Amino acid sequence: MNNEKIPLLIDRYMKVSFYVNKMGELLIKDQICDVLTNEQYYTLRFIAQQGLCTSTEISEAFYINKSAVTSNINRVEGKGLIEREQDQGDRRVFHLKLSKEGAELLRETEHKIHKLVESIMTNFEYEEIVRFLDTYEKLSQIFIQMKNGKQEEM
Tens of pLDDT along the chain (154 residues)?
678 889 999 999 999 999 999 999 999 988 887 889 999 999 999 999 999 999 999 999 998 999 999 999 999 999 999 999 988 888 888 999 999 999 999 999 999 999 999 999 999 999 999 999 999 999 999 998 998 886 445 4
Residues 6+ apart with CB under 8 A from 93: 54, 86, 87
Res 150: pLDDT: 65
Angle at the Cα of 56 from the Cα atoms of 101 and 77, rounded to 5 degrees = 25
Query: Beta strand 94-98 with 82-86: parallel, antiparallel or unpaired?
Result: antiparallel
Res 149: pLDDT: 83
Res 1: pLDDT: 65
The strand ranges marked E within the chain are: 82-86, 94-98
Res 32: pLDDT: 84
Res 154: pLDDT: 46
Q: pLDDT tens digits for 127-141? A: 999 999 999 999 999
All domains of the chain, ordered by start, with CATH?
6-153 (1.10.10.10)
Res 94: pLDDT: 92
